[in-house]
Amino acid sequence: MRGFGAGFALLCAGCSGWQSAIDPAGPESRNLQHLLWLFFGVSAAVWVLVMLVLAVALMRRAAPSTAPLRPGSRGERGSAIAVSAAVAATAIVLVGLTVGSYRATSALGARGDEPLMVRLRGYQWWWEVTYLDPLPERVFVTANELHIPVGRAVTVDLVAADVIHSFWLPNLAGKQDLVPGRDNRISFTADRPGIYRGQCAEFCGLQHAHMSFFVIAEPPADFERWRSTQLQPAVAPMDTEQEAGQQLVTGKACAACHAVRGTGAVGTLAPDLTHVASRTYLAAGLLPMTRGSLAAWVADPQTIKPGNNMPAVPLSSDKLRSISAYLASLK
Amino acid sequence: MSETRPEIEAIEVIDRDLSPEALEQRLAQTWATPRTLYGWLATADHKIIGRRYIVTAFVFLILGGVLALAMRAQLAGPENRLVSADLYNQLFTMHGSNMMFLFAVPVMEAVAVYLVPLMVGTRNIAFPRLNAFSYWIYLAGGLLLWAAFLLQMGPDVGWFAYVPLSGPQYGAGKRSDIWAQMITFTELSALAVAVEIVVTVFKQRAPGMTLARIPLFVWSMLVTSFLIILAMPAIVMASTSLILDRLVGTHFFNPAEGGDVLLYQHLFWFFGHPEVYIIFLPAVGMVSTIVPTFARRPVFGYLALVLALIATGILAFTLWVHHMFVTGLPRVGESFFTASSMAIAVPSGIQIFCWLATMWHGRPVLATPMLFVLAFFATFVLGGLTGVMVASVPLDTQVHDTYFVVAHFHYVLIGGAVFPLMGAIYYWYPKFTGRMMSERLGRWVAGLVFVGFNLAFFPMHLLGLAGMPRRVYTYQPEMGWGGANLFVSLSSVILAAGFLLFFIDALRSARYGARAADNPWDAGTLEWATASPPPSYNFGHIPVVTSANPLWEERGPLPVATGLRAGRRELLVTTVAEAQPEARETSPRNSIWPLMTALTTTVMLIWSIFSPWAVVWGSIPIGISLIGWFWPKGTPEDEA
Amino acid sequence: MLVLLALMGCKREERSVRLAPPLADALDQVALMPNGIGGAVPYVMAILDHPYDKNAYQLAQGKRLYDWFGCPACHGDGRGGVGPSLIDGWWRYGPDEASIFATIRDGRPNGMPPFSNKMTTEQIWQLTGYIRALGADYATAAAPGRNDDIHTRPAENRAPVDIGALLHPQEAR
């Protein structure tokens, strides 16, 4: 009974959510949702009809004898017409659905002018986000989170760094794969503010289940504010603990892979940490961003996300405290 | 040549020269498989091989089902730690590969291997030693995969093993090589059976069985066999290229050196889509057999059903890109595949409507096989309709690689293939074993399986739309999927209980089931014209067929053709269209060489996972066993 | 028979993603000779059954680390450049795992930087295993495959990777 209630609860949970295909927040996904309702309506009607005919066919019992019948031609002709009509109706319905599908496809291809250009590079098992701009000094790199202005089209270039991944942001758009050796692209627009969650949708190895990302749609003014913050180098440490943390991050293994702009850490292999604390989640949508999560992650990444490429650097507890203080300050 | 005259006479005796009892005795002697270890290993009897095949396939079904239960246990709650990420990846890869390559296709082939010769009225399948070889190769492939899984070498890249994840750089170790080579084993086996079925159906039909009188199950197996023959080369290319890339250093799928990642997907799915029709069409044939029998009248629209089968088979080759709609291929090209994927619903619709019309004009008897057919209708139609949904490119961009698609393909595979299969087992069990399965347990099985399946898989549609992707070993608690996943996991236990009951019934009835007559369902096709189970020679005399449902037209003994030798293995070869007798063909005797060839081939294929030189050195023992196989025996081949 | 099989190959394909910290500490205790060449590997390695030489997953990780930590900058694709070749069969500090581990961890004179600050013990061992596989003169079942990249030399599982250098050592150096 509880399971049943849970199932019903899902019906409601799925109807709204930050990773739901049936809670559209943009014109592309709304288009898709309408198409879904069209197909669902037609399909449900067809299924019910077929079941009704089946039920009636079963209930039309004739004489109790079970000897095999010889087919009579009169009844057969009626059925022949009925079957032909059903086949014709099937074909017409399918043509209609195909046309509906084509119209949705062409609507998806339409793009606004002056889209925001972002390049998303999929790694095992995180997302590198590069905001592109004609002016090189306005290009910046972050990870696992995008902010987009409401009402403006966003075009994302999809690049795969290793294996095939897939960019899926159900509230805003259908998915598109990141295929090594191919230049794929996806466009979408958010028409209301919100936090939308996306997830990699092509099996990419051990931690495919934990390769999520967030897209935060906000009013254009807020977006510009966020963008200018991201363009700044890392915040300077404000007390001795953070100072010690910065020394450790730039001097030890962290800097070999991570970058913190404005310090000596210029690694390119792992997520950019310049503004890590400004993100909502850590480790590609796995842990909510808090100082505790940062500490737990740095202390033992392999227990939280087993198989990911971040090693467990042995650290004493006060070193860990300093590092987490510093990272939590990088807003 | 050194035989004495009485011995020659004993071999050359014609069936019409013997009394019925003496004929049965003589034929039993000629066609017997000795009840020794040698006989067990060397048999060429399609019924023994078919039964063995069916049992092995069902063992793989049980194993695959256990894997599924483990997966569901892991997914029952968020961030569960029952199963590690690596093990879960192996679980779903093994589940998919096992079910698709080791259960679904082989079991349909197996039922065909048993029934097609009986249904067309001949004594043995064409190329019986190849038949034996195909079973041993299939067994070897299955054992390879499962042994690897037990050694933690089970493939972990998904049942379709996309590159670059399964390629040399990201697929560490031998796991993907094991997968690719298992493909080779199972495809060899499937191809062998496909060839035998085509030849049996075209050339060994009973006299008078024109094309318009061929049973629908045989038609479906004929179309399926052509699908196998035409689709198989694509996956052999894909898996061979994968092994070459991994082992030898070729660059088929390396974009930096001119290869293409999507090439693998095209090759795989060019096979992969017909593969699901290879699984589905035999089930269609089973339904087309069960429905008329239990509606107590010949099927409505025989010609339409045959044409629908052929149309489905042809269209099956025009759909494969619908598995690649989100890879970034040009939208115009993808749209063609939307149209063709929708179009294949039309022949399926024709079949459904014809069956409905058959039942409408008949007097349906709701025995267990029919219950499974009803379950098939409800489930497969729903699955087909979600198939129409995913056929649309834009819709697919939302639901591809989510639990929606998982729900869709389980609806069409379990609803469209497994339910008819279970009905077919209930239906033909008396013929295979001479005993009836339990009608009472059968109703329970049908009910549990139907309810359990729908409770377990319907919520997956909603989960997919709510954002849950496929192939994830766990999910976060804040996603809100925990409740539905728990519900699904608990319901899977009901489904498992239904299957458990099914196997209990099958095993129990083999010993304690009620004895079955020749034709317990009063069906109309030829396999019911002989004893249950059939003797080793199938029919005392080859029947002559005058209609599509011979046992309903002739309520007494059937007319027969005489003139075949009883002292050596002989069958009747007839013309392709009109089935006029053409020649008497010698059928091979029991032989150990198929097993030898299978063993040497297995050694070569497994060795080649580790070294390319295996192809060279391993071919020598294969050559020797093939020489043994084809060594001329001195018996005349055929006489017109 | 299945039990035998299950016992036999248990470790080769196992994917151990987390080296427990005490084990990592123990594996760091390589007993080097005074001149820094050669030494004894901690006994723990034998208990773990030499995964860094035999386990395909660890070798693959080592291969990844070879690119990640900039080894190609000096050692190229193995054939050397600024740094010595790793595939010509000549090991300046010896081919054994203790020496190679010490080389990577502590650096060597004339340009090999120490990586103890940049890599964890587990990573250094993974890289050590890979370097030994790269420079091996015989193929093993657990060797990594080729890169999905531009092909500049034979793949590691075609060992020896640089047969020319092995046959003609003078020209290679």
Chain C touching partners, 3 or more CB pairs below 8 A: A, B
Residue B620's pLDDT is 97
* C contacts of B257 (beta carbons < 8 Å): 150-151
CB contact under 8 A, B152 and C13: yes
Q: What are phi and psi of B133, to 5 degrees?
A: -55, -45
* A contacts of B346 (beta carbons < 8 Å): 87, 90-91, 94
The residue assigned the tokens 């590159």 is B163
Residues B331-371 pLDDT 10s:
888 889 999 999 999 999 999 999 999 999 888 999 999 99
Distances in whole angstroms, Cα of residue B16 to Cα of each of A117, B20, B530, B531, B584: 86, 9, 18, 20, 15
Nearest-neighbour CA in chain B from A259: distance (Å) = 25
Whether residue A89 lies within 8 A of chain C, CB to CB, comes out as: no
Mean pLDDT score of chain C: 88
Closest residue of chain B to A29, computed from CA coordinates = B398
* A contacts of B354 (beta carbons < 8 Å): 83
Q: Are the beta carbons of A267 and A249 closer than 8 angstroms?
A: no
Residue C63's pLDDT is 95
Residues B444-470 pLDDT 10s:
999 999 999 999 999 999 999 999 999
3-state secondary structure of B350: helix
CB contact under 8 A, B392 and A54: no
Beta strands B581-586 and B638-639 are: antiparallel
Q: Cα–Cα distance between B126 and B631 in angstroms, integer?
A: 18
Enumerate residue ranges in chain B where pLDDT < 50.
Answer: none
pLDDT band at C3 (very low <50, low <70, confident <90, very high): low
pLDDT band at C169 (very low <50, low <70, confident <90, very high): low
Concatenate the DSSP letters of all residues of A123-191 into one string: ETTEEEEEE--SSGGG-EEEESEEEEETTS-EEEEEEESSS-EEEE-TTT---EEE-TT--EEEEE--S
Chain B touching partners, 3 or more CB pairs below 8 A: A, C
- DSSP H or E run through A118: strand A116-123
Q: Cα–Cα distance between B147 and B153 in angstroms, integer?
A: 8
CB contact under 8 A, B254 and C148: yes
Among B153, B156, B169, the residue to mutate for chain C (most C Cβ within 10 A): B169
Q: ipTM score here?
A: 0.93
Enumerate residue ranges in chain A where pLDDT < 70.
Answer: 1-16, 61-66, 72-74, 109-112
Q: Are the beta carbons of A29 and A171 closer than 8 angstroms?
A: yes
* Paired tokens of C122: 């587990």
Q: Are the beta carbons of B465 and B407 closer than 8 angstroms?
A: no
* B contacts of A97 (beta carbons < 8 Å): 342, 388, 392
For chain C, list residues whose CB is within 8 angstroms of any CB belonging to chain A.
15, 17-19, 21, 24-25, 64, 68-69, 117-120, 122-123, 148
Cβ-count burial B157-196 (b if 16+ within 10 Å, e if not): bbbbbbbbbbbbbbbbbbbbbbbbbbbbbbbbbbbbbbbb
Q: What is the 3-state secondary structure (H, E, C) of C85-150?
A: CCCCCCCCCCCCHHHHHHHHHHCECCCECCCCCCCCHHHHHHHHHHHHHHCCCCCCCCCCCCCCCC
CB contact under 8 A, B169 and C157: no
* A contacts of C117 (beta carbons < 8 Å): 251-253
CB contact under 8 A, C120 and A311: yes
Q: Cα–Cα distance between B535 and B516 in angstroms, integer?
A: 14
Largest CA distance in chain B: 88
Distances in whole angstroms, Cα of residue B46 to Cα of each of A41, B25, B53, B127, B432: 48, 20, 10, 10, 12
Whether residue C7 lies within 8 A of chain B, CB to CB, comes out as: no
Concatenate the DSSP letters of all residues of B287-311 into one string: HHHHHHHHHTSPPS-HHHHHHHHHH
Whether residue C154 lies within 8 A of chain B, CB to CB, comes out as: yes
Closest by Cβ to B394, choosing from A13, A14, A104:
A104
C87, amino acid identity: I
CB contact under 8 A, C8 and B151: yes
CB contact under 8 A, B151 and C148: no
Distances in whole angstroms, Cα of residue B345 to Cα of each of B317, B371, B590: 14, 24, 45
Whether residue C67 lies within 8 A of chain B, CB to CB, comes out as: no
List of E strands, B404-544: 542-543
Distances in whole angstroms, Cα of residue A17 to Cα of each of A10, A20, A200, B590: 11, 5, 17, 65
CB contact under 8 A, A314 and C120: yes
Backbone Cα Rg of chain A: 27
Bridge partners of B513? none
Q: Cα–Cα distance between B610 and B177 in angstroms, integer?
A: 9
> Would you tell me how many other CB atoms lie within 10 Å of the CB of residue A92?
10
Closest residue of chain A to C116, computed from CA coordinates = A253
Residues A31-86 pLDDT 10s:
999 999 999 999 999 999 999 999 999 988 665 666 777 776 667 888 899 999 99
Domains of chain A: 116-231 (2.60.40.420), 240-329 (2.60.40.420)
- DSSP H or E run through B581: strand B581-586
Whether residue A269 lies within 8 A of chain C, CB to CB, comes out as: yes
* C contacts of B611 (beta carbons < 8 Å): 139
